[in-house]
Amino acid sequence: MSKLIGFLLLVAGVIHLLPLAGVMGGERLNALYGIALDEPNLQILMRHRAVLFGLLGALLVAAAFVPTLRGAALVGGLVSVLAFLLLACSAPVYNEALRRVVVADWIALACLVPALALHLRNS
């Protein structure tokens, strides 16, 4: 079971690492989210968001290999994914790039929920 939990955390971790590319700047952010981020202050905020996703992704990947990190990683990953999905569901419409993020977060959720169940069963 531990290897399955590790695999599920690894998938969720990679999904959370993908936005890290946004640290590279506005052009990369535009490509990731399909929106023009021409305002410098908004770019700073979004680049910082990319760093935070990188940290969470790194924690999830580390937890795939270090079982003592799994509880914290699962909580962080689930809060992140559920918050985004709730926000997306509350929006009347979003673009195709954000639709891909929604799909990726559903995949991450599909990994994190069984990983949590297995983790709790093994604890």
Query: Which helix (DSSP H) or strand (DSSP E) does residue 44 occupy?
Result: helix 40-65
Task: Return the pLDDT at 99.
Answer: 95
pTM (2 d.p.): 0.93
Task: Return the pLDDT at 74.
Answer: 98
For the chain, percent of residues with pLDDT exceeding 90: 85
35 backbone dihedrals φ, ψ, rounded to 5°: -135, 150
Query: Which helix (DSSP H) or strand (DSSP E) does residue 13 occupy?
Result: helix 2-17
Residue 88 has pLDDT above 90, yes or no: yes
Residues 24-67: pLDDT tens digits?
A: 988 888 888 988 888 899 999 999 999 999 999 999 999 999 99
Find all residues with CB under 8 Å of 119, minimum gap 6, and list them: 5, 70, 71, 74
Q: How many other CB atoms are found less than 10 A from the CB of residue 8?
A: 24
